[in-house]
Structure 1
């Protein structure tokens, strides 16, 4: 198992030593704020020390009902984190809530990194609050028995491949359901949206200002559907298409990664990347080699040898951000020479620990609770054959998503289309070359909301746009601070 703090970020540790918040301060509504020591590591985010030195972080907890339809069922405790700048903690100060992605990414562990990327203008106007949704990391985390993917991903379109993959997914699902018991149906997006409104009320905010990216945009849209009158301003950055099924969403994502790999290939050819004259063939050969003999790491941090599926994980993670592309080119060559260290770093580049299974477990349970009807075996095999033919690098890798919740038997709370006609106009952001949530999702989300929301387009190469581009950031800041929405269709160049 690997986990390390990159050397480039170790220098910020001392600057954060005094940024853990004052102990035992309470806001007017009873949330007790105290030190973050023992909750999350504030020394790790790769943010300039001089910026984080101006911030103070406090952590607090909020108790919410386990099941709002059954008060006797008990409670959850949500973990919150709050960043302030230039003043003492003031419960009357307006806040902006950062709604985490994933699903099941920790908004607490990622908070310092995200706040460190916000503008001074925004931080002067708001305190910034993050949280872990129910079932995520510091908020009663979901834990299932972990069943590891096989070293070589099976071809699901074949009899043997389907049987092998189904066996793994069925075993994992059954063990997960056993671990959760009667709580299995309580972690969906609709329940998390109700928790957000509890956070709003507990923080004394009559109207909520929020930013949600990726899954956080889906959760924010569900909040707008349920609580349209409780919103002051909301940003939905990089949403998925709310009108598609899980299998269609899976194909959109696989196609998005394939298209982004095309962009990487063009970038690489333009720069004459050494030895990468045929990138797809190079990756395919590297994956096959890693399946035959996992690639050792030359780093001293205890990396495990890398398998073929993990090579593809690393490539996919690298496509989330064009700034990682030079490292991807170098990492592929390094791995071909027998050292997987750089590819491991790229696989871990999201800031979350891929080996912390509470995130993957939480993602699975939340998605299954939200899901509609599962595809049949015939549909899975037909789509797997289509993926394999149409998406040469990520097709077989992506077929695991097709199983999804095929063996999930707990009650579902299928997520409805988020029509929010009574909500104020929101800002929806789509990125033209987003590998994980393709641009069409933002177009569809803007239309579905039905409340005059504004679509902003970034012509960039990354997953999500806010805090990546000065033009986008200026538009978001103006909206969050003064409710000034640009005209629908506004575009920012890459």
Structure 2
């Protein structure tokens, strides 16, 4: 069996959004062994309930599957149908997959809604990975999970790709695959209608069906775009916002991927060279990574290894572009970033298996995302015309190929409408908490610094040594819960973030230097 690193669709961005219920009288009956009760604007789901109503929505008990696991998550699910084109509501209807995770204890009148990112991730499928970060938040709050249109169980724009992708970066093949993907999804969807703006109208429709509560929005990566856009379009619906690994509205997704990855990898390399044992073991890891890139550019390698998930024998073609994609995966987390210098050093000795096998672990959860074309509907409609060549991209590790791929795909993929003010900075006096990882290879802290400039009631917290998506790290779950409770970002005691720090690079497979 061969495995490839897909070049055209995997953006590796995650989204979380949350909501709050307030100022309403909730009511409903639960079927089964218990009755749902409401008081002072609060709605309680009693133990043993198998069905109940929130507003116009009727929830029944369900089990949510977990990827690569037989385990399930107990939840309540409700059908929800919307027009595919909100501007032509008499046309095709699509079903959205909607689920509720009931509060761990008696619910307050806050309500959390989780949206997922990518663009292309399913909120429901990604919940097991983010649930721990919400543990304190959901003690007294329900969590609403809505698969964004085009993802998961919401008329997903899914395209299966053949394994010819292991032949390296090829714009002609990418165009052909995009054309085939478009033909496949057009049988059940109009790709022009799967944009962020359309998804906002879905979320607002769910809010209205629940009885028009306010929302606390928690966005991660691409999800921070969703949160900012929702805040701008429906300000009265928002109580507070948490932005984890934030993308400014002004930013075109894909325009700085190469620069941001190089910056993060160089920072990791600098930390290694500043440590005597690491410097002695690897010299300059950034130089070594580029050396490996040059070798693979001249002569790609066929790598045989055992898949660490199931021990099956497999192989893949490793070239300069796939190396950059692997390095980007490693850079997302401090723990895997710490392994990269060692993996590169082994590869330079001809042993590529450790480098590739670890990435199979990292990329396993992204298999569905790489097959999802909803991200093309987002990027081609909202960003592609704004992606321009950046100085230094050609000599960067990632190069200009990813931007070239987006451009090529978006000459084929249909474009939806983009509001004239879509890329205007968000301005609001709502309470906003922004979380950034110091070494994030996708959404660096300078993005959070840019966003907070127009948010007088906003605050940015940067976690030293951390990568992408930090809400579940260290004391952040506690801080986020306190923020959502008190709505006072400037008064939040965040001294605990001083405990964050980098993960030292492994100098061998026993770990870092003592």
The alignment status of 1:321 with 2:333, answered yes or no, reads yes
Residues 489 and 85 (structure 1 numbering): CA distance in 2 closer, same or farther, change over 3 Å? Answer: closer
Query: Could you say which structure has the greater relative contact order, defined with CA pairs below 8 angstroms and 6 or more residues apart?
Result: 2
Work out whether residues 332 and 441 of structure 2, in 8 Å CA contact, stay in contact via their aligned partners in 1. Answer: yes
Cα pair distance change 1:371/1:404, threshold 3 Å: farther
Contact 2:240 2:432 in 1 (8 A): yes
Give the TM-score taking structure 2 as reference length: 0.74
> Could you report, residue by residue, the CA deviation over 1:385-434 in whole angstroms, capped at 9, with x for unpaired residues?
84123x2x222554545626541462432251355556623223333322
SS at match of 1:445: helix
**1:272 aligns to what?**
278
Match of 1:239 among 242, 246, 257: 246
Quick one: distance in 2 between partners of 1:419 and 1:325?
A: 32
CA contact (8 A) 2:438 2:463 kept: yes
The equivalent of 2:55 in structure 1 is 29
Task: Provide the aligned length of Structure 1 versus Structure 2.
Answer: 442
SS at match of 1:103: coil
Measured at CA, do residues 402 and 410 of structure 1 come closer, stay the same or move farther in structure 2, by a change above 3 Å? closer
User: Are 1:434 and 2:440 matched, yes or no?
Assistant: yes
Task: Show the counterpart of 1:461.
Answer: 466
Query: How many Å separate the matches in 2 of 1:443 and 1:401?
Result: 29
Query: What residue is the counterpart of 1:200 in the other structure?
Result: 207
2:358 matched to which residue of 1? 345
Give the secondary-structure state (helix, strand or coil) at the position aligned to 2:441. Answer: coil
1:170 aligns with 2:175: yes
For structure 1, the 5+ residue unaligned runs are 4-20, 155-163
Determine if the alignment matches structure 1 residue 218 to structure 2 residue 225: yes
1:478 equivalenced with 2:478 (yes/no): no
Is contact 1:372-1:414 (8 Å) kept? no
User: Is 1:187 aligned to 2:194, yes or no?
Assistant: yes
Comparing 428-437 with 283-292, greater Cα deviation is found at 283-292
Shift of 1:342: 5.4
Distance 2:168 2:316 in 1: 16
Counterpart Cα distance in 2 of 1:333 and 1:35 = 51
More strand as a share of residues: 2
* Structure 1 residues 301 and 106: alpha-carbon distance in aligned structure 2, compared to 1, 3 A threshold: farther
Change in 2 beyond 3 A, CA 1:340/1:106: farther
1:403 to 395, 403, 407: 407
The answer on whether the counterparts of 1:221 and 1:418 sit within 8 Å (CA) in structure 2 is: no
Aligned position for 1:80: 98
Give the Å deviation of 1:369.
Answer: 2.2
8 Å CA contact 2:380–2:413 kept in 1: the answer is no
CA distance in 1, matches of 2:343, 2:61: 39
Q: Bigger CA drift: 110-119 or 286-295?
A: 286-295
* 8 A Cα contact 1:306 1:340, kept in partner: no
Aligned counterpart in structure 2 of residue 298 of structure 1, from 298, 302, 306: 306
Contact preservation (8 Å) 1:320, 1:463: yes
Equivalent residue of 1:108, what SS? helix
Q: Secondary structure at the match of 2:242?
A: strand
Deviates more, 1:429-438 or 1:326-335: 326-335
Name stretches of at least 5 consecutive residues in structure 2 with no aligned partner: 4-46, 501-514
Deviation at 1:70, TM superposition (A): 0.5
**Preserved contact between residue 161 and residue 177 of structure 2 (Cα < 8 Å):** yes
1:358 paired to 2:383: no
Specify the alignment match of 2:14 in structure 1: none
Could you tell me whether the CA contact under 8 Å between 1:143 and 1:357 is conserved in 2?
no
**1:231 CA displacement:** 0.8
Q: How does 1:9-88 map to 2 (within 5 A)?
A: 24-37=50-63, 40-41=65-66, 44=69, 56-84=74-102, 86=104
State the TM-score, normalizing by the size of structure 1: 0.77
Cα distance in 2 for residues equivalent to 1:241 and 1:149: 36
